[in-house]
Structures are given as C-alpha cells and as structure tokens.
Amino acid sequence: MAITTRLLAGAFLIKDGRFLMMKRAETRRFYPGIWGAVGGHLEPVEINEPRTACLREIYEETGLTEDDLYSLDLRYIALRRRGDEIRVLYTYIGYAKTFAYADKTDEGTLHWVDQEDVLGRELSFVHRRALSHFMEHEEDRRVMAGAVHLIDTEPILEWAPVADWYGQ
C-alpha cells in the first residue's frame, strides 16, 4: 500500500478577543457543518511555503491581504493518518487590523466568535486541541507539533515544541 500526503494550511485570525472562524457548509465532503479555520490545501508550487498557501487561502476566502494582518505565525503542525493518507495541517494564528472582510467563499460562512465561545463550537479534534493549547499559552511563540494517535480507540494529541537544533 502506497501512502500519500495531504498538506493543508489554515489560520485563526484574532481581533479584540474575537476569532474569525468558518462554519463549513453542510454540503462539504470533509467536516460538513464543523467550525474551523480559514484555509485549505497547499498547491504544488507552495509545497515548501505553507505560509504562502495560508495567505492565499485567507485572501481567497476573506479578501484580507497580508497588509490587513500582523503577527501571522505558524503555531501548530499536526499529523494524522486516514487510511493510506497522512494529513499534515499547518495552523497559523495571527491578528487582524479590521473586522471587515469580504465573504468570498462557498465553502462555508465566516463569523467573528468571542473567545469565550470558541471552544463551545463543534470543532475538529485537531483544531480543538490547537485552540485549547493556544488559549492557555498565547504568549508562548514556539512552533508546536504533534501526531494524533489512539489509546483504546480514543484520539490523543500532545504538543511538543519544535526545537531550533542543529545535530551532528
């Protein structure tokens, strides 16, 4: 069996304690009706530049450009397996200068959600774990990585910092 990869990049944008989130359309094949980040698949030319893909997806879905944002940083890299596919999700968190956006997508609807309400939404497992960690450690600017694994059929995802290390 050949294993393939699916690379995805998404962002949660924050302004004044509110998170810009997408409620995915019920017609979507993956995660219908689930709340999540703005984002999508990396294009082949973006394979080594997930931030470029993230900015493209933000623009395609919201009309916001890099000039409308600040401190858009890679915060989480999550790996999970589904059958013969490994999915790698790059999650960026950044700050918006404006609440205004152009709802340019048919993938779902965009909403500004108060921080205290974010975790009460129906989220994917990985997004829930990333947002929970972020809310507890917002000042920790390190990139965190984790792999979803099962313990007694329950998914587990533990974050570890990606070290800036140069081995022999």
Q: At 78, is the pLDDT very low, low, confident or very high (cuts 50, 70, 90)?
A: very high
Residue showing tokens 């792999």: 147
Confidence band, pLDDT 50/70/90 cuts, at residue 106: confident
Closest CA to 131 of 140, 143, 139, 123: 123
Return the exposure string of 52-88: e unless at least 16 CB atoms fall within 10 Å of the residue's CB, then b. Answer: ebbbbbbbebbebeeebbeebebbbbbbbeeeeeebb
* 4-15 and 85-96 strand pairing: parallel
The domain locations on the chain are 4-161
pLDDT (mean) for 19-27: 91
Question: In this predicted model, what pLDDT tens digit does every residue of 113-154 receive, in sequence order?
Answer: 999 999 999 999 999 999 999 999 999 999 999 999 999 999
CATH architecture of 4-161: Alpha-Beta Complex (3.90)
Model pLDDT, residue 75: 98
Output the six-digit token pair for 32. 């219908």
Tokens (6 digits) for 22: 């997408």
Confidence category of residue 99, pLDDT binned at 50, 70, 90: very high
User: For the residues 96-125, what does the mean pLDDT come to?
Assistant: 93
